Chain A
Amino acid sequence: MSGRAIVVTSGKGGVGKTTATANIGLGLASQGKKVVLIDGDIGLRNLDLILGVENRVVYNIVDVVSGRCQPRQALVKDKRISSLFLMPASQIDEKDAINTDQMRDLSAQLKEEFDFVLIDCPAGIEQGFRNTVAAADEAIVVTTPDVSPVRDADRVIGLLQSSLGEPQLIINRMSMDMVKRGDMLDQQDVLDILAVRLLGIVPEDEAVVIAGNKGAPVVLNGGSPSGDAYGRIARRILGEDVPIPELNGHNSLAKRLGRILFGR
């Protein structure tokens, strides 16, 4: 079997890469796929915490590439969905503890066994970025509809186009209220600027914070707007034609009149 290796990247930190990786991974696994998540952020391990498996991490990716253990020994199996595994990052090593060839080899090895190898890329465009991109076949770029993440996303898209080809975009933390007021870039604005294919939109949602607190990603519990969005994203990755709900901030006539007469 040769699975698909997908890097989740953004350029800018703090836009939700790790949350997206965890949710997409769980989403794919709940569709019956065998999925491994690689935490590529060496020295700043977080994916274990978001997934809620931090207490079961024994070995990590640096142990694997330096031959201290077998990949199988480092993988942490998810207790909720048995086809999901995590390859944790090291928290104590330097971020250049792994080189590009080692990362590429590890990914190739994991692709033999898994349908999907999802790689959570560190912020920035340095060595950690280059390593995770080299280990991937496809890329997902995450941005929020704010000026600096969009600018950094553009830079990353440029870098990806010369290596992996056209990435797909997730716009995270979209606030419908702000879009309706005209105070936030909407999906068409972001696409006009970045000119890439849209994979999905994840609305701003308190449930993401609560999920982080609990170590139980939103996609696991149906009903939250962000969890449903990640569920749809996972199905799109699997090739299903799932429409992206229009979130371009069109108000009803009554709401428009209300705003005109009574202000915001």
Chain B
Amino acid sequence: MTLTELIQRIQHSFGKGGSKDEAKSRLLLVLQDDRLGLTAEEKEALRQDILEAIRKHLKIDAEGFTMEFVSSPTDQNKMHVSAPVQVGRGPANFSK
């Protein structure tokens, strides 16, 4: 038995690491979309609008910009936006 196998077996014995974790995360993701009822185009438009809105005020790295919808038992239906802000020394980097 390799160490990886042993770890997997320990995880399984606690009901973890099985295929249900994949089922749960896939469901949470797909249900977010189902519940929002937004088309792919509408989501992209929203993404662009938020990206532009932030860019008006801050220098951000568009590559690293992400927008995702998450659901958990405690906070249902939240939108998480992550924007890597490029901050230098001195005054804030306003692009205007």
Which residues on A are within 8 Å of B, measured CB to CB? 146-147, 150-151, 154-155, 158, 179-186, 189, 191-193, 195, 248-251, 255-257, 259-261, 263-264
The 9 A-B pairs with the shortest beta carbon distances in the complex, nearest first, are A182-B18, A256-B13, A183-B18, A259-B13, A182-B15, A249-B15, A192-B73, A260-B9, A183-B19
Contact with A along B10-31 (1 / 0, CB 8 A): 1111111111110110111011
B16, B18, B21, B24: the one contacting A193 at CB < 8 Å is B24
| Chain B residue at smallest Cβ distance from A263 | B9
- Min CB gap B59→A, angstroms: 38
- Residues of A near B72 (CB, < 8 A) are 192
**Measured between alpha carbons, how far is A150 from B31 in the docked complex, in Å?**
10
- Min CB gap B65→A, angstroms: 28
- Min CB gap A180→B, angstroms: 6
B11, B26, B35: the one contacting A182 at CB < 8 Å is B11
Interface of A is mostly: helix
**Measured between alpha carbons, how far is A250 from B71 in the docked complex, in Å?**
25
Which residues on B are within 8 Å of A, measured CB to CB? 6, 9-21, 23-24, 26-28, 30-31, 34-35, 71-73, 76
**Measured between alpha carbons, how far is A185 from B24 in the docked complex, in Å?**
7
**Measured between alpha carbons, how far is A67 from B24 in the docked complex, in Å?**
49
Asked whether A184 lies within 8 Å of B73 as measured between CB atoms, the reply is no
**Measured between alpha carbons, how far is A128 from B20 in the docked complex, in Å?**
33
| Chain B residue at smallest Cβ distance from A181 | B18
Asked whether B26 lies within 8 Å of A154 as measured between CB atoms, the reply is no
Interface centre among B15, B17, B23 (most CB of A within 10 A): B15
Number of inter-chain CB pairs below 8 Å:
75
Asked whether B15 lies within 8 Å of A193 as measured between CB atoms, the reply is no
| Chain A residue at smallest Cβ distance from B17 | A182
| Chain A residue at smallest Cβ distance from B16 | A182
**Measured between alpha carbons, how far is A186 from B12 in the docked complex, in Å?**
14
**Measured between alpha carbons, how far is A191 from B71 in the docked complex, in Å?**
12
Q: Given the interface contacts A154-B31, A179-B15, A260-B9, does A191 sit within 8 Å of B73 by beta carbon?
A: yes
- Residues of A near B34 (CB, < 8 A) are 151, 154-155
**Measured between alpha carbons, how far is A182 from B41 in the docked complex, in Å?**
37
Asked whether B31 lies within 8 Å of A182 as measured between CB atoms, the reply is no
Q: Given the interface contacts A259-B9, A263-B9, does A189 sit within 8 Å of B24 by beta carbon?
A: yes
| Chain A residue at smallest Cβ distance from B19 | A183
21 contacts between A and B (CB under 8 A): A146-B23, A151-B27, A151-B34, A181-B18, A182-B11, A182-B14, A182-B15, A182-B17, A182-B19, A185-B20, A189-B20, A189-B23, A191-B73, A192-B28, A192-B72, A250-B15, A251-B13, A256-B13, A259-B9, A260-B10, A264-B12
